[in-house]
Structure 1
């Protein structure tokens, strides 16, 4: 699902990560390859246990964490995030400034940078990428293909009924790119740190027909660039995707413009089952994996593995589809669902230490969080009373939950679903429960509005409130189908107004007010919890800093 600002509009987005230094597995010094005696050993292969296969290798078309994990090792954007935080820092741009109205941004670019195909990175390459994104056609405009563009920039060049935040890009000289927006946004320039908006080689994009996305029913086929020839500026280059053996291999980019990677290779070994990943780590077959089950943390630590716990920069929610069942359009019914769920017990029994009940759709480290919102406590009798008042005591709902997945906010979907379903049934709500694989029908059914209730969540891309509630409710054609409710468009309009407000103090107040209205007047879904996910690595892996954004970079990593 955005993420140095000018002095006028600076948000450090330092999200209260006072313990991040302690969470880092180890910081790396300058590479020995560059003449420093550095702490990290040069050479070797890091094998990482991935929960799923990457969808493709063109980050602009990516929407899932496993694809982003691989892509961010090969690509860079104009800005990035300081390791261990959500604070924006320079990447391919060394500095930037905006006009007072927040609509024109001038980026000074790093010089001497080459793409993996040895072509030059410069302002023309930056503008080529922006124009490519903005001028997507046909299947490329699908929400399932260009989701991050649609969520953050809006429409395309040929969609006048759906205007875009983006207006133009001009290369003033090779090291200066000027980007014009149609309106100010709280998310600029941090949105350019998203992996989706990494800069690709224009030559490779053209050579390998990068925009030739073809729809086939509900699925899509992607061109050679996305499958075989990803070309960025990052510390690692694409080597191969061995689908027969479920292995993705990246190799060091010896022409990298910054500190060279210490590792020779990174291998992503695809192991969908979390228990199997744990066994592979213990057997020495892999060097680490993401999202270990919280119940396994103590045992992994006892065996000498580094279990790095990230801050809880996410939210799990129970989605409510406004479209299918008219009774769900009644606020009292949605409130009854919230009273019916024992979220406090769920947090204690199903989530790791440090998890908390969510009072709204963002954690308290995001600016715009409203501390005056009172937590709704578990009260099944209140739930029954509200259902009776709404004439919905006989409510029957279709409840979907995902299999074959582990998410930072949802470590055990089956157990969490069981707890929620049990609570709802105690309140007299009848459920038709359906489970489907995460990438095998679940997300498709949710996007098509089939379930009445569904379990999903979000890990923030940055520290801006628009990246949270704006992503969820800024469009009425969302997973909650808020277009079916009389308040859906009003909420989208209010979010747009807050996002385009250039005054920081006023904007913060607008988001605080919106968080209160969302919980007390709209309640389009039910926020459940914030949960701290972990990353586990062998003790000889150094230089990986756990990120609240799950934005770990392996460039500084070393082995042994």
Structure 2
């Protein structure tokens, strides 16, 4: 039997933030894989929660994915759906009843507050409980849209909870026995398995949850257990010794002793830390320093051959308009602003080629045969922009009220892009914009509550399909009460034709028809200029040469259970 470093020793290394040669020694196993080591990465953002129903940012998703899993997950190589906590499933001839067989070797992370370690097995009733909460109105639940209109009884259950009534059972979710789960849909759903791979469908334990303690929100079944939290980080995860998965050689996963996540908002300092070997990974280095990455960095006078990867991403950036208040309640003004922005300049010059301009809309190009040519888009046209602004009653920008672009302070080039857009709007429309740069939590709070006028927003695919992006504009995902937050449809866009096309796509008889209907829906949203599309991101990723097994995919899924360190590259 293979031996591992004692837990207390591993935790001491994790707390110290050790990297490079100071990390614990590795143990070689079958297939040339090596056990041991601590994976260090930094997130520039601030985490508000690790609870699956509350995850709102890619940073929260990436960190939470260390601890949580769902019934199914995406294959990191081709993004197809593959088994996870469910080892197999069957679909009845109607396409509406899914029967999942759960793995019997899955255990929840132990409760650190308990007197003794309790490795409770995953049962079908745990899944029922999680899915019932997904369909229950609560401040921490932002994920009901996943089952809305899909799962039998989900809408009625949610409506009852919203009224403060005891909703009772959820007829579409049933535990047949301890390891068998049945899910009944309202109608056939070609994307249902992809939806189940979404983080909102991750399974968590029944530990009492406190909104003020991140550790109380992270009892999952994943490869790493959250061991330490702090107000300013780091978050420390330790290898879960009872994790269920094995590699192709029969080795128990994960290989790593642990993961340490820091939260430094200074991207330039983060790059320095990576070059010094203190971080295993860095994503999206600062734009102004991309030139340094063309050739190997120099550390201590010797070449440091870290790996530079450019990944095609399923991620879009756009500016949202508050169409409920002047001046952006006028579609002419919204269109004028959108046409005054040179997306090509942003992608090629401001972001130095680390992005691709948006020519049609918000759905990334080349996705599943999506006919993007059916979407008219909002291409750069300053002459038309000036004409539209004049028609709206603001010739040359005269009389236009003060407007602020609101951006968060932790993203890839967000501030530089805002400054470039500020210049474009002044040059093309004669309007002087102000810029507000806020911490990420304040930024999203203001956006969700409808307090921002014009704001930066991005969307990275939760599942690789155009529907996932267009859900941002579906009317039932908007909270129309202006006093309440609207976390998904932040523009609170509502258009009957869009909604009809969006729903028709779900019931389409074939893939081609579904794609055409979704493209027509997106064209309607672009006609209404609910947002101003900017660009699609290309992820720039840096890896230390000793990091092996790190998957590459358009969703930037980081399955660290399969990552190992090559000791030959660390010396």
Q: TM-score range by the shorter chain?
A: 0.7 to 0.9
Take 2:535 and 2:146, find their aligned partners in 1: how far apart are those partners?
A: 23
Take 2:366 and 2:108, find their aligned partners in 1: how far apart are those partners?
A: 36
SS at match of 1:550: coil
SS at match of 2:182: strand
Q: Deviations over 1:376-401 (max 9, x none)?
A: 44332221112222323333352323
Q: Deviations over 1:291-333 (max 9, x none)?
A: 22355345235131112222121111121111111x5344333
Q: TM-score, normalised by structure 1?
A: 0.81
Indicate the residue corresponding to 2:516 in structure 1. 509
The aligned runs of 1:42-191 (5 Å cut-off) are 42-117=35-110, 118-136=119-137, 141-142=138-139, 145-150=140-145, 153=148, 157-160=157-160, 167-191=171-195
Question: Alpha carbons of 1:62 and 1:374: their partners in 2 closer, same or farther (altered >3 Å)?
Answer: closer
Take 2:544 and 2:237, find their aligned partners in 1: how far apart are those partners?
A: 20
Residues 472 and 490, structure 2, Cα contact 8 Å, conserved in 1: no
1:347 and 2:351 correspond: no
SS at match of 2:459: strand
Residues 186 and 502, structure 1, Cα contact 8 Å, conserved in 2: no
1:435 and 2:465 correspond: no
Q: Deviations over 1:444-496 (max 9, x none)?
A: 2212222322111111111222210123434343321325xxxx344234323
Bigger-Rg structure (1/2) = 2
Question: Alpha carbons of 1:99 and 1:302: their partners in 2 closer, same or farther (altered >3 Å)?
Answer: same
Match of 1:481 among 492, 500, 507: 492
SS at match of 1:129: helix
1:184 Cα deviation after fit? 4.1
Indicate the residue corresponding to 2:278 in structure 1. 285
Which residues of structure 1 form unaligned runs of 5+? Answer: 1-31, 213-220
SS at match of 2:192: coil
The aligned runs of 1:94-493 (5 Å cut-off) are 94-117=87-110, 118-136=119-137, 141-142=138-139, 145-150=140-145, 153=148, 157-160=157-160, 167-201=171-205, 205=206, 208-210=207-209, 221-222=211-212, 226-228=214-216, 230-243=218-231, 246-259=233-246, 260-300=253-293, 302-303=296-297, 304-325=305-326, 327-353=327-353, 355-358=355-358, 359-367=360-368, 368-373=370-375, 376-393=378-395, 394=398, 395-396=400-401, 398-406=403-411, 411-474=412-475, 475-477=477-479, 478-483=489-494, 488-493=495-500
Take 2:503 and 2:377, find their aligned partners in 1: how far apart are those partners?
A: 27
Take 1:243 and 1:453, find their aligned partners in 2: how far apart are those partners?
A: 30
Question: Alpha carbons of 1:437 and 1:330: their partners in 2 closer, same or farther (altered >3 Å)?
Answer: closer
Say how many residue pairs are matched. Answer: 494
Question: Alpha carbons of 1:556 and 1:513: their partners in 2 closer, same or farther (altered >3 Å)?
Answer: same
Residues 46 and 440, structure 2, Cα contact 8 Å, conserved in 1: no
C-alpha RMSD over aligned residues: 2.7
